[in-house]
Amino acid sequence: METKGVTEKYQRIGELAKEAGVTVRTIRYYEELDLLEAPKRKNSEHRRYTKKDLVYLLRIKQLKEYGLTLGEIAEIISLAKDDPSGEKPRQKLLFRYRDKLKQALEKKDKLNSYISELRWHIDQLEEVGHFQACPGEECRYCKYRDLCQFAVENRSPE
């Protein structure tokens, strides 16, 4: 999570929170978890944060939006601190992203199946001549009889 080329501009915690779209409490919590380094204070001054801190904070926020837990994010940050080449955190992030993609695709398949089910049920309900007769005589002619769990017993041999 190197941030080369970022110019140093110091700001207070409230300004950082506002710019990042988080609360001051969130920043302090991330500092407690070692996700974000608390800046050193000079004398009794307030903490001063840099653009580098903002980049870290935005990155944490992004990783959370991608579904990573704070524990997973902490693991990646810890790897980044221990590996100046960045290869270990890169590999871990690739692993996490691939896992999240796999999970998302599985959810998408389930959602698509659910949508398909709802569509045929809506279509069937719009077309049925006599709702109270379902299942019944109309099942023999219903285009959804192979999908409908209630029509299975009422199928007529063709």
In a domain, 118, yes or no: no
Tokens linked to 75 = 């693991």
In a domain, 127, yes or no: no
Q: Which residues of 91-105 are buried (b: 16+ CB within 10 A; e: fewer)?
A: ebbeebeeeeeeeee
The model's pTM is 0.68
Distance (Å, rounded) from C-alpha 104 to C-alpha 32? 31
Distance (Å, rounded) from C-alpha 66 to C-alpha 25? 22
In a domain, 117, yes or no: no
Tell me: the pLDDT tens digits for 78-105? 999 999 999 999 999 999 999 999 999 9
Distance (Å, rounded) from C-alpha 72 to C-alpha 16? 23
In a domain, 124, yes or no: no
In a domain, 158, yes or no: no
Question: pLDDT grade, residue 129 (50/70/90)?
Answer: confident
In a domain, 153, yes or no: no
Residue 2 pLDDT greater than 50, yes or no: no
In a domain, 34, yes or no: yes
* Domain of residue 84, residue span: 13-112
pLDDT for res 148: 83
Distance (Å, rounded) from C-alpha 19 to C-alpha 2? 20
In a domain, 8, yes or no: no
CATH number at residue 25: 1.10.1660.10
Number of domains in the chain: 1
